[in-house]
Amino acid sequence: MRRMVQAMLLTPAPKAKILAIFGIDMRTCHLITGGAGFIGSCHVLRTRAAGVPVVTVDKLTYAGNLDNLCSLANDTKHCFVQGDIGNDELMAHLMRTHQPTAVINFAAESHVDRSILDPDAFVRTNVLGTCALLRVTLDYWYNLPQDHREAFRFLHVSTDEVYGSLCLGDAPFTENTPYAPNSPYSASKAASDHLVRAFHETHGLPVLITNCSNNYGPRQFPEKLIPLIICHALERQTLPIYGKGDYIRDWLHVKDHCEAIDMVLRRGTVGRTYNVGGRAERTNLDVVHSICAALDRLRPHSDGPYAKLMAFVADRPGHDFRYAIDCTRIERELEWKPRHTFDQGIEDTVSWYLDNQAWAERARGGQYRDWIARQYAGYERVGE
Ligand code: NAD
Ligand code: DAU
């Protein structure tokens, strides 16, 4: 083992900041990309709790936050590397050094509204970055001993948005629903899914893909609906609801998503896609009312109910009306089921943000304030 640490010190990773190198055998580890983000960090914490060593690679974009991994600060079986999945040299170096048994790819630009204003960033990471990661992984996998090749997995974390938009009464998305992405974000995720699938068909790389619905829970960056509403409500700011608020999403607690990823990684059929969802469709208005009701119970305000702050604002261009997931395959094949109900999950999430206001304050730095000013500037308050 000492030899391995020395090798890392003698061969510094190209253009990367390695925050920790440990004197333990990291072989059998998982390499998790995007692990400082919302879902990735939940998965890193879960994997470490299960005793599996982890190398986390994250570029630390505005959405990446090392606070999310602070409980692992003294964990000798976790290694954090600041780097880009598109950096071939770095990723090849990390694979050679740590010999992961699985690569789980969470790294992405993930916010639909930002993709409307800056699509190039989404193509760079979600398409080109994923392609580079696949190339490097393929090379690493080819050179593994036979038994390690058989056990190895590349799991790509994707979204239900690749399937497009549903009307009321349409059947939920299955794994056979044709792709019809509508935003630059979902188009870039769709492209990445196709690349992952193509590396399996062309080269036999043992891949798995998960397509999940909207996640919520602790540590979600406050640009997304649920944490944004909680943070705005606590500051007595307007709670912006796009259009008429009748858009529908299917909500899943982030811990349930990570459990599904674990099950797919361990027992999923190679080359397959698994849809993951909460069977919890809600309109955005319902979601915001639930958050306000939870706040009224947990942190009542002398000015009256939080719902008074709600306002309809200009809509998102090309806004997908409804997402709904049919997750029969993962339920039947892997016996996965969500453990959290939406009502309890929202209450717990509101509590988490109340208890972690310092986290939210640090996450919402200057760049965040600039984004909010740009995104919501001049938005009309259309009424309650
Ligand atoms: P997030 O924006 O909170 O986190 C993304 C992380 O990726 C950040 O830590 C960021 O720094 C990192 N990153 C970005 N570009 C990178 C690059 N080039 N190299 C390395 N790291 C990079 O996103 P999230 O909500 O946690 O989503 C994680 C994944 O799950 C994404 O692939 C997303 O498409 C998918 N997903 C999200 C949801 C959801 O509701 N949030 C639902 C389904 C699927
Ligand atoms: O469906 C899975 C996807 O869910 C993930 O792939 C994405 O990474 C994730 O960001 C999420 O996408 P959405 O666009 O559905 O999430 P968002 O939280 O941005 O918005 C949820 C709904 O709330 C959507 O209909 C837009 C609406 N909304 C959002 C914001 C930020 C508002 O009404 N007001 C807002 O201020």
d(CA 351, CA 368): 22
- Determine the atom of ligand 1 nearest the C-alpha atom of 220: 3
Residue of 38, 57, 87 to test ligand 1 pocket, by largest number of atoms within 8 Å of CB: 38
> Measuring from atom 29 of ligand 1, which residue has the nearest CA?
106
Residues lining ligand 1, Cβ inside 6 A: 33-34, 36-40, 57-61, 63-64, 84-86, 106-110, 125, 129, 157-159, 189, 212, 214-215, 221
Which 3 state secondary structure label does DSSP give 88?
helix
Token pair, residue 146, equals 């036979």
pLDDT in tens, 39-66: 999 999 999 999 999 999 999 999 999 9
Torsion of CA 23, 87, 254, 261, to 10 degrees: -80
Note the pLDDT of residue 359. 96
Distance 215 CA to ligand 2 centre (A): 10
User: Could you give the domains of the chain?
Assistant: 4-216+253-279+319-340 (3.40.50.720)
What per-residue confidence (pLDDT) applies to 379?
56
Active site residue 170: no
Q: How confident is the model at residue 27, as a pLDDT?
A: 54
Share the mean pLDDT of the chain.
92
HSE-CB at 224 with a 13 A cutoff on CA atoms is 22
Query: Which 8-state DSSP code applies to residue 325?
Result: B
Asked if residues 238 and 275 have their Cβ atoms less than 8 Å apart, the reply is: no
β-strand partners of 155: 104, 208
Q: Which of 140, 163, 185, 353 is catalytic?
A: 185
C-alpha–C-alpha distance, residues 58 and 61, integer Å:
8
Give per-10-residue mean pLDDT for the chain (384 aa).
Answer: 29 46 59 98 98 98 97 97 98 97 98 97 98 98 96 98 98 98 98 98 98 98 98 96 97 98 98 98 98 98 96 96 98 98 98 97 89 80 50
Is residue 371 within 8 Å of 121, Cβ to Cβ? no
User: What integer pLDDT is reported at residue 380 of this predicted model?
Assistant: 55
Q: What is residue 26's predicted lDDT score, i.e. its pLDDT? A: 47
At residue 365, the pLDDT reads 85
State the pLDDT at residue 11. Answer: 36
Confidence (pLDDT) at 283: 98
Q: Residue 377: what pLDDT?
A: 81
Known catalytic membership, residue 142: no
Taking the whole predicted model, whether its pTM rises above 0.85 is answered as yes
Q: ∠ at Cα 215 (182, 168), nearest 5°?
A: 50
Give Cα 131 distance to the centre of its chain.
Answer: 18
